[in-house]
Amino acid sequence: MPRDSPPHQRTRDRSRSPQRRDRERERDYDRKPDVRGDRDRGDRGGERGNGYGGGRPRDEGYGARERERERESDRKRYDEDAEAPPKSPPKPNFGNSGLLAKESNTVKGVALKYHEPPEARKPVQNWRLYVFKGDEQVDLIHIYRQSCYLLGRDAVVTDIPIAHPSCSKQHAVIQFRQTTERNEFGDEKTEIKPYVLDLESTNGTYVNDAEIPKTRYYELRNKDVLKFGTSTREYVLLHEESKK
């Protein structure tokens, strides 16, 4: 209200409620002619003018109604939560999480890429690996004292370390497995045989100069020659009959 208006008019304006004054201002505003042209040409997002016609929002009470609806929704959710039965605390889960299996397949903090199958057995024959570099024998490795031998560059976990840079840290494994065969007469014969398994190495595993498939057991026979990666060392597999 302008200060130069009559005192009785200023008093009457103060006695009216804010809502009533807002409605009267809205009514007076709608009655005024738009000297700048069409008031609605500048509508943007529900506002009149918005810089074009110098107008005001179409619905001043929109924000208040929206807040009231949110409060009503909050009250309903609170009432529903209060009426819902109390939730029981979660029960402990004693199932196998896989961490124990992972820990059991770890040696000195290094996770192994391989674990033995159920048919793994210690051999009954004295198997040996004769290591040659060219024509010279450089090592002799006994491989009958356990059922599995891991080969590779990682000296922490491997049973037979191979220092050549072309070999992977866990390159291959020699596994003794129990197999049962049936002859033509129906008789079963159980044997423990050696197998080699390439552990997805970068440069492969070779038996008698032929690369074997990766991640598949490949049966070994007496006098087979194994090579790993591009190393020139040859591992000749031989066995001696165990004494009874």
| Spans of all domains in the chain | 7-83, 117-240
Written as tens digits, the pLDDT of the chain (244 aa) is 555 555 555 555 555 566 676 666 666 655 555 544 444 444 444 444 444 444 455 555 556 777 788 878 777 776 666 555 666 676 665 555 444 444 457 777 788 889 899 999 999 999 999 999 999 999 999 999 999 999 999 999 999 999 999 999 999 999 999 999 888 888 888 999 999 999 999 999 999 999 999 999 999 999 999 999 999 999 999 987 644 4
C-alpha span between 129 and 236 (Å, rounded): 5
Question: Could you tell me whether strands 188-198 and 172-182 are parallel, antiparallel, or unpaired per DSSP bridges?
Answer: antiparallel
Phi and psi at residue 139, to the nearest 5°? -160, 160
CA-CA-CA-CA torsion for 134, 135, 140, 143, nearest 10 degrees?
70
Domain at 117-240: CATH architecture:
Sandwich (2.60)
Nearest CA to 175 among 187, 159, 157, 155? 159
CA angle 153, 158, 160 (to 5 degrees): 85
pTM of full prediction above 0.85 = no
C-alpha span between 142 and 127 (Å, rounded): 6
